[in-house]
Structure 1
Amino acid sequence: MDAGGVTIRLVGPDDVEAFRQIRLEALRTNPSAFASRYEDWEVLSLEEWRNRLSEPVFIAFQDGQPVGIMGLFRQRSSKMAHRATIVMVYVRAGLRGTGLAVRLLEAISDHARSIGLRQLELFVNAENPAAMRFYQRQGFAEIGRIPGAVLEDGREIDDVMMAWRLVG
């Protein structure tokens, strides 16, 4: 996909440096938006970074530089393999509001349908109403909450669980 000077593509092991760069940027600049910590990821070996690309990861590139990311984590059990969780959602601050997050979500949902997925799920920090509204506009519905899901600076923060049916 290419529009507005930004290209979005499914990345692989050869893109490990771009993956590392955008993931660490996301964790460093928006720490409260993620369940992971920058410190947990910065120490990973190159091999571990490559291993994490075994699941589908889409990266948005502008002028060859990564500026956004969205990944999928598919359920392993054969009875649940029709479901996947969207992870690592991030768009660089200067590109927010440009439609790039919508384009990343379109890329990932098209890919999800092509591999037979029927439902996408995600977790949103309950203190991030803008993200919840974004996902609701895209078709996600709140399906529950995990109380105290994340412990950040001694505070327990709920996660809002959301799902989007890709079929009927």
Structure 2
Amino acid sequence: MIRQLGPEDIQVFRQIRLEALRSEPAAFASSAADWEALPDAEWTRRLTANAVFVDFYEGKPVAMMGLMRQGASKMAHRATVIMVYVRKDRRGGGHAKALLDAVVAHARSAGVRLLELALSAENPAALRFYLREGFREVGRVDGGIIHEGREIDDVLMMRRIDHDASAG
């Protein structure tokens, strides 16, 4: 069951976000330590500033995907897919596809035309998933993330959703 989280869901958000950062530390720009130090007010701000969707399996949060809309008026038609995570034992279970569908529907209803994202070049499964879902690679940032002293490239991708053949 997918649900968009609200301010009353701060504990669910904290649980799944910290799980993601701890279990896949090389996949995110933030570290678990960055988020563990945040006061509750900042957790609430981050949850409400962005649309955050969580997929629940057997009543427990197992996957998450967020949407961060551009703030500048001339870029308000763009949004970035953020905080993507699926628990290892639930991968391949359709959670990412279901979350992406929910994010796309939400984005469209808000007038978003372009979805953007960045992912680790060391995550070929995610790259294949996004290509299947209609995203295309638009660039790379060499050494975009430094994890444990090692540079990891970011793959930049985008997908139009205003006249999208892969919708549905």
Deviation (angstroms), 1:103:
0.2
Letter in 2 for 1:98: G
- Alignment partner for residue 9 of structure 1, among 3, 7, 28? 3
Query: Who is 1:104 aligned against?
Result: 99
CA–CA distance in structure 2, aligned partners of residues 167 and 9 of structure 1: 23
Deviation (angstroms), 1:93:
1.1
Query: Who is 1:18 aligned against?
Result: 12
Deviation (angstroms), 1:62:
2.1
Residues 14-23 or 90-99, more deviating: 90-99
CA–CA distance in structure 1, aligned partners of residues 43 and 103 of structure 2: 20
Letter in 1 for 2:11: E
Letter in 2 for 1:20: R
The alignment partner of 2:29 has SS state of coil
Unaligned stretches of 5+ residues in structure 1: 1-6
The alignment partner of 2:97 has SS state of helix
Query: Who is 1:123 aligned against?
Result: 118
The alignment partner of 2:9 has SS state of helix
Query: Who is 1:145 aligned against?
Result: 140
Unaligned stretches of 5+ residues in structure 2: 164-168
Deviation (angstroms), 1:64:
2.6
Deviation (angstroms), 1:156:
1.4
TM-score (structure 2 length as normaliser): 0.94
Residue 35 in 1 paired to residue 26 in 2?
no
Query: Who is 1:4 aligned against?
Result: none
CA–CA distance in structure 2, aligned partners of residues 28 and 43 of structure 1: 14
Residue 47 in 1 paired to residue 68 in 2?
no
Instruction: Report the identity percentage.
Output: 57
What is the root-mean-square deviation of aligned Cα atoms in Å? 0.8
Query: Could you give the per-residue CA deviations for residues 106-162 of structure 1, whole angstroms, max 9, x where no partner exists?
Result: 000000000000010000111111111110000100000111111111111110000
